[in-house]
């Protein structure tokens, strides 16, 4: 594990990490969303190592991270006009495009499919690493499959220690949840995974947007199984703080210990974490709180759901998956 300044990464550290990537190894590094587990995206053996380290099913394709928009034609067979317009507004940043794949992209990266996911991240460490490596970097979130994504280097260690070659510790990730994944292979862009770039933000640039995976065909997002982003502790969702409080009282009667992510301030209760009332701050904090609850070894995590509105879609998606039964 090497410490690195998140705003101004030291070139010698970046070059050591880039050497590992070029040699076919695995480097975990910070992005503006969550930590990624990186490998040379054009090296089938290196990408296969990511799947092995994560215990990731071979059916779940990975995102290739590029330095800038001028590099996408190394990995995409064509680049639709919608992707151009959206990239002009949101890249570098937390937006991933699903596009037709170019021949150099190994099939292990696309899970054998005809499309590839591409993102240009906005974190100085990620950018420096991609540039120094000189190749697109394949990087899923740096956690064991189905577990919570890491927003700090300690989370990566907890999940992947001993399974990877290097970890760049650039401190906490500012975004806190994963990028928005949008399929631009069809006429109308389709959001396969809600994320920090919301549907209203996308629609401002490209008009109508569809939501959710189509059955079959290239719009399937194989990674979107219900159980995902889960802490080890069972999560119970509640529609209101009152409902959560009633459930907590019931848990206490059964002698279960419990923690609670309330929505906004509530009157003082045992392990209550009042979560912010704006979606961006909430997202930035969410995984850290869930990781912390896992560490203190409680019986249940109660969560009051934020409102069912477009701005909250990504946070609600992650909470729903965190609570999905295994
Ligand atoms: O913010 C992020 O996107 C982070 C950072 C590291 O960049 N990465 C990330 O990767 O969350 P991962 O592998 O945990 O999630 C990638 C998602 C999965 O749901 C996967 O199924 C979907 O993108 N995906 C990848 N390639 C795809 C493709 N060709 N078609 C449809 N979905 C795809
Ligand atoms: Mg993931």
CATH of the domain at 299: 3.40.50.11030
Confidence class for position 217, pLDDT limits 50, 70, 90: very low
Nearest CA to ligand 1 atom 32: 221
Q: Is residue 205 part of a domain?
A: yes
292 pLDDT exceeds 60? Answer: yes
What is the spatial distance between Cα 293 and Cα 148, in angstroms, rounded to a whole number?
A: 12
Q: Which residues line ligand 1 (CB under 6 A)?
A: 31, 33-34, 36, 60-63, 94, 96, 98, 110, 113, 115-117, 119, 121, 139-141, 178-179, 181, 192-193, 221-224
The residue from 211, 243, 276 where one domain ends is 211
pLDDT at 230: 87
Same domain, 136 and 14: yes
Spell out the residues 6+ positions from residue 239 whose beta carbon is closer than 8 angstroms to its own. Answer: 304, 305
> In this structure, what is the dihedral angle of CA atoms 210, 211, 212, 213, given to the nearest 10 degrees?
20
- What DSSP character marks residue 142? S
Mutate which of 56, 62, 220, 226 for ligand 1? The one with the most ligand atoms within 8 Å of its CB, which is 62
- The residue range of the domain holding 279 is 235-323
Bridge partners (DSSP) listed for residue 97: 118, 182
228 pLDDT exceeds 80? Answer: no
- In this structure, the strands spanning 115-119 and 63-65 are parallel
Q: Please give the distance, rounded to the nearest whole angstrom, from the Cα atom of residue 97 to the centre of ligand 1.
A: 10
Same domain, 79 and 170: yes
141 carries a ligand binding annotation: yes
Query: In a 10 Å sphere around its CB, with 0-12 CB exposed, 13-18 middle and 19+ buried, how is residue 172 labelled?
Result: middle
Same domain, 54 and 178: yes
Same domain, 248 and 166: no
pLDDT at 306: 98
pLDDT at 218: 42
190 carries a ligand binding annotation: no
The residue from 211, 246, 274 where one domain ends is 211
pLDDT at 219: 39
Q: Minimal CA–CA distance to 177: which of 98, 262, 290?
A: 290
**Cβ(30)–Cβ(173) below 8 Å:** yes
Same domain, 315 and 194: no
Same domain, 300 and 204: no
Q: Is residue 230 part of a domain?
A: no
**Cβ(202)–Cβ(189) below 8 Å:** yes
Confidence class for position 325, pLDDT limits 50, 70, 90: confident
Same domain, 241 and 205: no
With both helix axes pointing from N to C terminus, report the angle between 124-133 and 11-22 in degrees, rounded to the nearest 10: 50
**Cβ(65)–Cβ(125) below 8 Å:** no
Same domain, 207 and 248: no
Same domain, 253 and 136: no
Domain of 39: which CATH number?
A: 3.90.870.10
Q: Please give the distance, rounded to the nearest whole angstrom, from the Cα atom of residue 249 to the centre of ligand 1.
A: 39
Q: Please give the distance, rounded to the nearest whole angstrom, from the Cα atom of residue 141 to the centre of ligand 2.
A: 4
Q: Please compute the mean of the pLDDT values over residues 124-137 and round it to a whole number.
A: 98
CA angle at 32 for the pair 31 and 35, rounded to the nearest 5°:
35
Nearest CA to ligand 1 atom 17: 223
* Residue that the structure tokens 């729903």 belong to: 320
132 carries a ligand binding annotation: no
Number of domains in the chain: 2
Q: Please give the distance, rounded to the nearest whole angstrom, from the Cα atom of residue 128 to the centre of ligand 2.
A: 22
Same domain, 241 and 207: no
**Mean pLDDT over all residues of the chain?**
94
Q: Please compute the mean of the pLDDT values over residues 287-301 and round it to a whole number.
A: 94
Same domain, 194 and 285: no
CA quadruple 214, 219, 223, 229: dihedral sign:
negative
Q: Is residue 222 part of a domain?
A: no
């Amino acid at each position: 594990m090497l410490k690195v300044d998140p705003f101004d990464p030291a070139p010698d550290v970046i070059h050591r990490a880039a050497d590992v990537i070029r040699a076919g190894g695995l480097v975990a590094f910070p992005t503006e969303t969550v930590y990624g587990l990186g490998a040379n995206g054009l090296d089938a053996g290196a990408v296969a190592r990511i799947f092995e380290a994560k215990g990731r099913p071979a059916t779940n394709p990975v995102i290739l991270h590029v330095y800038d928009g001028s590099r996408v034609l190394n990995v995409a067979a064509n680049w639709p006009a919608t992707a151009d317009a959206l990239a002009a507004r949101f890249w570098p940043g937390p937006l991933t495009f699903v596009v037709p794949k170019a021949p150099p992209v190994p099939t292990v990266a696309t899970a054998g499919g005809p499309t590839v996911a591409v993102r240009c991240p906005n974190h100085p460490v990620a950018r420096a690493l991609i540039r120094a490596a000189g190749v697109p970097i394949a990087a899923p979130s740096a956690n064991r499959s189905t577990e919570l994504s890491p927003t700090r280097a300690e989370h990566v260690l907890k999940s992947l220690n001993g399974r990877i070659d290097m970890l760049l510790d650039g401190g906490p990730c500012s975004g806190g949840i994963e990028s928005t994944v949008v399929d631009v292979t069809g006429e109308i862009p389709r959001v396969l995974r809600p994320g920090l770039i919301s549907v209203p933000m996308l629609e401002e640039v490209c008009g109508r947007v569809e939501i959710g995976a189509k059955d079959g065909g290239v719009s399937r997002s194989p990674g979107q199984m219900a159980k995902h982003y889960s802490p080890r502790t069972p999560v119970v969702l509640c529609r209101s703080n009152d409902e959560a409080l009633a459930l907590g009282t019931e848990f206490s009667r059964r002698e279960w210990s419990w923690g609670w992510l309330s929505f906004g301030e509530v009157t003082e209760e045992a392990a209550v974490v009042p979560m912010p009332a704006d979606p961006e701050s909430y997202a930035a904090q969410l995984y850290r709180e869930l990781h912390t609850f896992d560490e203190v070894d409680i019986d249940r995590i109660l969560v009051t759901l934020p409102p069912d509105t477009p701005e909250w879609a990504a946070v609600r998606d992650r909470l729903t998956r965190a609570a999905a039964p295994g």
